[in-house]
A and B are shown apart, each in its own frame.
Chain A
Amino acid sequence: MSDPANWSLAEKTAFEARRRSRNIALGILLAALTLLFFGVTMVRMVPPSGKVQAELQAQRPGQNAGQSSGWDGR
């Protein structure tokens, strides 16, 4: 790789512009990942309302009230 000290002014400007755009994209990606993990955590840990819970139980006849293994995030 050539020494950045030998780059022309136009090359330096172009490199810095590209580096800035890469860093902004990376920042957006990290923020999106944070939101994604927060969302997954909320959905999997917070139990749904009673109505939704009843519908889900009805779809799983093997899991009656006595055998309930708790909310599994679905």
Chain B
Amino acid sequence: MNQSTEMPGSAPMTAFADWRDYFALLKPRVMTLVIFTAACAMIAAPGTLHPFLAFVSVLCVAVAAGAAGALNQWYEADIDAVMKRTANRPLPAGRLAAHDALSFGIILSVGSVMVMGLALNWVAAAWLAVSIGFYVVVYTMWLKRRTPQNIVIGGAAGAFPVLVGWASVTGDTPMMAWILFSIIFLWTPPHFWALALFMEADYSKAGVPMLPVTHGLEATRKQILGYSVLLVLASLLPMPLGLAGWAYGATALVMGVIFIVLAWRVYRSTATVAVEMLPEKKLFKFSLLYLAFLFGALVADVWLA
């Protein structure tokens, strides 16, 4: 757990926390993906929503994601302190006290769920509460340090905002919402394991049981390929079910083929040091583009209809 940094005879660093430190707790870069997928789900969902309420819904999803990020940082300050990528976060760097981060996370969590319930509907609010609880309790506190499948479980946490976005408009979560959920759920393992392959040394140092650390590079590459195939199959599912149009279908097919080709290259790769892991870096970058194009096509389908 984080301790405030205090030099003898001088002011504690935590006394100097400013708004930027609180903002950094929200993990704003992670938030963008969540906002994007939730907003696309809202547009794709049948029905209409007042633009201001749509804005409130996206805001609640963003704040809830930030709150979950703050609670995650509060719990993981010890791991963050030993990883190069995270050592300068406000808690491990000593700019913010642990109890301040905890209070901040709880207030934002409760606030976002209440506003969602009062402004939109309680189904969306319930899914929002589940997403925060799942990410903080199930993923961060329970499973992240216990199983190398932590990324798969974390994928579910990242997929909940799609259900929230859909439920904001319709008040329920039908088949298409769950297909979108499964796309993000299955997208997460190849995306993060590709990153974990070339960041393996960092995770190993922090003692996080990431798949490349516990089962080796070959097993991770095999799992990446397996999840990539499942992902592409799930992304094509709306077509035979008649739940999406041609723009989505064509994008899912083309991008899916590229995704599998890149995953296959990762599978065939034998690189053991980060600088040589070009296929892994390519897959990681393309996976971001893949999700953006897929959900963008979903929105395009609605506008073309």
Q: Do A and B bind each other?
A: yes
Question: With a CB–CB cut-off of 8 A, which chain A residues contact B4?
Answer: 1
CA distance A59 to B15 in the complex (A): 55
CA distance A22 to B119 in the complex (A): 28
Q: Is the CB of A7 within 8 A of B50?
A: no
* Residues of A in contact, count (CB < 8 Å): 24
Q: Decide if the interface of chain A is mainly helix, strand, loop or mixed.
A: helix
Question: With a CB–CB cut-off of 8 A, which chain A residues contact B15?
Answer: 1, 15, 18
CA distance A1 to B53 in the complex (A): 44
Q: Is the CB of B48 within 8 A of A15?
A: no
CB closest chain-A residue, reference B20: A21
* Min C-beta distance of B304 to chain A, whole Å: 20
* Min C-beta distance of A4 to chain B, whole Å: 7
B175 at interface by CB-CB < 8 Å: no
B6 at interface by CB-CB < 8 Å: yes
> A18's contact among B10, B17, B50, by CB below 8 Å, is which?
B17
Q: Is the CB of A36 within 8 A of B56?
A: yes
* Residues of B in contact, count (CB < 8 Å): 23
Q: Is the CB of B56 within 8 A of A18?
A: no
- What per-residue 1/0 map shows which CB atoms of B1-40 lie under 8 Å from chain A? 0001010011110011111001000000000000000000
* Min C-beta distance of A74 to chain B, whole Å: 7
B47 at interface by CB-CB < 8 Å: yes
Q: Is the CB of A11 within 8 A of B11?
A: yes
A30 at interface by CB-CB < 8 Å: no
Question: With a CB–CB cut-off of 8 A, which chain A residues contact B52?
Answer: 39-40, 43
Question: With a CB–CB cut-off of 8 A, which chain B residues contact A18?
Answer: 15-18
CA distance A47 to B162 in the complex (A): 29
Q: Is the CB of B10 within 8 A of A21?
A: no
10 closest cross-chain pairs (CB), A and B: A25-B19, A18-B18, A11-B11, A40-B119, A21-B18, A7-B11, A18-B16, A43-B52, A43-B50, A39-B52
Instruction: Spell out B's residues near A (CB within 8 Å).
Output: 4, 6, 9-12, 15-19, 22, 47-50, 52-53, 56, 59, 115, 118-119
Residue contacts A-B, CB under 8 angstroms, 30 given: A1-B4, A1-B6, A1-B12, A2-B6, A2-B9, A2-B10, A2-B11, A4-B11, A8-B10, A18-B16, A18-B18, A21-B18, A22-B18, A22-B19, A24-B19, A25-B19, A36-B56, A36-B59, A39-B56, A40-B56, A40-B119, A43-B50, A43-B52, A43-B53, A44-B119, A59-B48, A73-B53, A74-B48, A74-B49, A74-B50
19 additional A-B pairs beyond A2-B9, A18-B18, beta carbons within 8 Å, are A1-B4, A1-B6, A1-B15, A2-B11, A2-B12, A4-B11, A11-B10, A21-B18, A24-B19, A25-B18, A39-B56, A40-B52, A40-B56, A40-B115, A43-B52, A44-B119, A56-B48, A74-B49, A74-B53
